[in-house]
Chains A and B, each alone.
Chain A
Amino acid sequence: MTSIQEFSVSRTTVTSRICQSVLLICVFWMLFIASGDNKASQGKIIDLCVFIVLASMWNLLTGFSGLISIGQQAFVGLGAYSLIVLANGVGINIYLAVIPSAIIVAIISIPLGLVAFRLRGGYFAIGTWVIAEVVRLIVKNNQSSVIGAGTGTSLEVPESLKSGRYQVTTFIAIAVAVVSVVFVYLFLRSRFGLALQSVRDNETGARSLGVDSYRVRFVVYIVASFFTSLAAATYYIKGLSVQPDAAFNIGSWTAPIIVMVVIGGIGTIEGPIIGAVLYYLVRDFVSKNEFFSDPTFLILTGVVALIFALFVKGGIWGLLLKKFPKLTIFPVKRRLHIQNFEFDQRGN
C-alpha cells in the first residue's frame, strides 16, 4: 500500500472554466446588443432571458426537488398583475416596481403552497394547475379599474420613460437571468441544496438524517415563485398589455417551459439554458416557414416532449455527458485529486 502524500479536493475543472468563460462572452454580447438600437433583437433577448429564468425555476422545482408543477402560469400572471397594481395603481416607477412585485408574489405563494402541499406527486401537479385556475378566475371576476376584469389592462408608461424602454428592459432581463442561474448554482452547492437533492432521491433516507423535507421543499417553492414572477414582471414591461386568459395560460407559459427543460436535460443546471436557446432557435426558424402553422408547431412540441420523456430522459445535455463525461459548465459535485489520479464522487 502506498501512502497518500498529496491530495486535494476541487469543484471547478479546466472545462468548467472554459465553458463559463464562453457563457460570460455570450452575456457580454447580449449586453452589447442591449445598449444598441435594434428593437427586434432586444425583444428576442428579453424573451429568451425570461424563459431561461422560468425554465431554470421549473427545473429547480421538478428536477431538483421532485415537486412537479404544471401551474407556473399562476406566478407569471400574479407577477404581471402585481406590477400593474404597483405601477398603475400605486404609481411606482415601472422599473423599480419589478422587485417589489416579485416579493408580493412570493408572499402570496405561501398560502397557495399550503394548499398545494396537501397533495403529492402527480396529484400535486394537477393541484398546482387548479390553483392557477382559481387565481385566474378571481382576477377575471375582479371589476376594479386597475385590474380590468376579463378584458385586462395595460401598463402605463410615463412620457419620461418612453424612450429607451427596450434598452432598459433588456438590461433588466439579462440581469434577472444571470442572477437566477448563478443563484441556482450557488443554491445547489450549498448545504441546503444537498438537503434538497437528498429529499428528491430518497425522502425517507433524508428525513432519517435530520432533513426537514417539508420545510426544504416549501422554501424552494417560494424561491421559484419569486424568480418566476420577477421574470414575468420583466416580460410585461416589454409586452405592456395584460389579459387574465393570456397571463394565466398554461399553453403559452408552462407548456414551453416543460418542453425546454425536458429537451435540454431535466435535473441539471445547464439543461434549461440549452433547452431555452434551442426552443427559441427552432421557433424562430419555424415562424419564417409557411409549412408550420401554429397547431403543427404545438403538435411537434407535444410529440418531442413525449419522446424525450420516454426515450431520452437525460435530454441533450445528458447525451453530451455520455459522450464527454468530463463536460461541465456549473460543477456541483466535488472531485478528489491524489497525486496524478483524479476521482469524482462516483469513483470514476
Chain B
Amino acid sequence: MNWFNAIIQGVLVGGLYAMYATGLSVSFGVMRLVNLAHGDLAVGSAFIASTFCLATGLSPFLAIFVVLPLSALVGIGLQVAVFNRVVGVDPSYQIVATFGLSIAIQNVLLQQYAANPRALNIGEFGNRSLKLVGDDVVIGLFPLSRFVVAVLVLVLLSLFIGRTRIGRAFRATSDDPDIARLMGVNIRSIYAVAFAIAVTTVALAGIFNGMQTQFSAADGPALLIYAFESVIIGGLGSLWGTLCGGIILGIAQTIGAEIDPGWKQLIGHLVFLIVLLVRPMGIFGKDELR
C-alpha cells in the first residue's frame, strides 16, 4: 500500500472533479439553478469529441477547440429554450425539468452510440510520466497537465467574476436579481453567459476525463454526484473551496480504492456525509446553505 502515491493521485483527480464542479457552482451561484443534466452534458461532449476525432483523424486536443465553442452555443440555447422558464419558480419544476433532460440526453447517447464504452486516444502523451522518489511515486504527465489546466480555468474564472464588468453583474444578480435589473443589468443575458460558462467548463472536464479513462452513455449521473459533492465539501459560493472539495473527494476515493477496490466511491460518499454533518456550510463556506 502506497499512501503517499494515493494522495498525489487523489489530488490530481481532484483537479478534474473541481472542473466538473465549477459549472454547477456558477449556475447555482448566479441563478440558483440545480441542473441534474450537468454530468450528461460532460459525457455528451466527450462523445461529440470522439465522433469528431474518428471522422477527421485529428488529435482529441484539436477536438477541444471545436467542441468548446459548440458547448457555449448549446449552453446559451438551453438557457433560452429551457432554463429561463424555470429560474425563480418553485424548485421542484427545476428538478423535474432538468431530470427529464438528463434522462433524454442519456438515452439519446445510448441509442446513438450503444452501450459500448469509448475513449479518446491521446497517443504517446498519455503514457509519459515523471518519477519522483525512485519508482514509488509516479506522476503521469497528462494528469499533471490536466490539473494545471483546471487550476488555470479557476484562476481565469475568478478574475473574470472579480475584475470585469460582466463579473460584477454576475455578483449583483447572485445577490439580488430584482435590484440588479433595476440597475440596468440584463438578467437574461447574464444567465445565458453563466450557463454558457457552466457548459463549456463541464465539456472540457468531460473531454479530459475521456482522454484518460473510458466513458459510456450512463456515466453522467456519477459525474454529477462527484461535482455536487465537491461543491458542498468546499462550501457554496467559493471557487477555491470547490477546488479543495474536489481534491478532498479525490484523495478520499483513491485511499478508499487502495483499501479495497469496491470502496472507492463509498469512502468518497462517506467523507461527503461527514462534512455535511460536521460542517454543513462546507469547509470554506461562510453562511448557512440556502
Contacts and interface: CB of A to CB of B under 8 A. Distances in A.
Nearest to A150: B262
A118 B101 contact: no
A140 B262 contact: yes
A122 B269 contact: no
Contacts of B106: 298, 302
A293 interface: yes
Interface stretch (A32-40, A61-69, A226-234): A61-69
Contacts, number: 140
Q: Considering residues A133, A140, A296, A306, which has the most beta carbons from chain B within 10 angstroms of its beta carbon?
A: A306
A292 B111 CA distance: 12
Contacts of A307: 100
A210 to B, nearest CB: 22
Given A70-B36, A115-B276, A122-B34, A303 B104 contact: yes
Interface residues of B, number: 48
A34 to B, nearest CB: 33
Interface in A279-311: 293, 295-296, 298-299, 301-310
Q: Considering residues A115, A122, A129, A250, which has the most beta carbons from chain B within 10 angstroms of its beta carbon?
A: A122
Contacts of B91: 68, 121-122
Interface stretch (B61-69, B144-152, B206-214, B223-231): B223-231
Contact of B100 (A68, A118, A295, A303): A303
29 contacts: A66-B90, A68-B91, A70-B36, A115-B277, A118-B289, A122-B32, A122-B94, A122-B95, A123-B28, A123-B289, A125-B34, A126-B225, A129-B221, A134-B269, A137-B265, A137-B269, A141-B266, A295-B110, A296-B111, A298-B103, A299-B104, A299-B107, A302-B105, A304-B100, A305-B96, A306-B82, A306-B104, A308-B96, A309-B96
Interface of A: 62-63, 66, 68, 70, 114-115, 118-123, 125-127, 129-131, 133-134, 137-138, 140-141, 250-251, 255, 258-259, 262, 266, 293, 295-296, 298-299, 301-310, 313
